[in-house]
Amino acid sequence: MGLSGIEYHLDMADSSGIVIEKRQRDLDPDVERRLIAELGRCPDLAFAHLPQVFVPGRQDRAELVLFAWLQPEALGSLRFALNLVTEAVSRALPSDQFLDVVVLNSAPELLEQIERAGCLLVERNPEERSRALAAAAQADPSPDVPAKPWWWPF
């Protein structure tokens, strides 16, 4: 399991250039069931999506990426919360597989595009997901102004 720099790619890329779509390749059904079960026990996770992502000019092909939205109270100890999520992923995946894990709270401008991909994997807190979607819909920047990342819930 690794964090092979996808956070850097997302921070440095124009979010409109990132291609996020429904998975074309799936995980093994047993691996996916384990991943759902492990993430479902993660107390700091509100919801998670597993789409495929392609960053033109940075990747040769689309890769599966786990976008994890953390509970607002978990953001005070972001490293701890991220460790819990990555440990859950690590327990679920075979040793020869990995997934990039992105804390979606730090890239909420991608939330609507991720939702459109239709790859919701786990939803532990439907109310938090509704709040996140409502906030993302209201944060539509002017097309003339470059998008700046914003942090949830700050």
Q: Residue ranges of the domains in the chain? A: 6-138
**pLDDT(8) > 50:** no
- Say how many CA atoms lie within 13 Å of 42 toward its Cβ: 33
* Residue 46 CB contacts under 8 Å (≥ 6 apart), including other chains: 69, 70, 71, 123, 124, 125, 128, 129, 132
Structure confidence at residue 152 as a pLDDT band (50, 70, 90): very low
Structure confidence at residue 4 as a pLDDT band (50, 70, 90): very low
pLDDT value at position 16?
54
Top mean pLDDT of 15-19, 55-59, 62-66 is at 62-66
Each residue's pLDDT tens digit, 140-149: 554 444 444 4
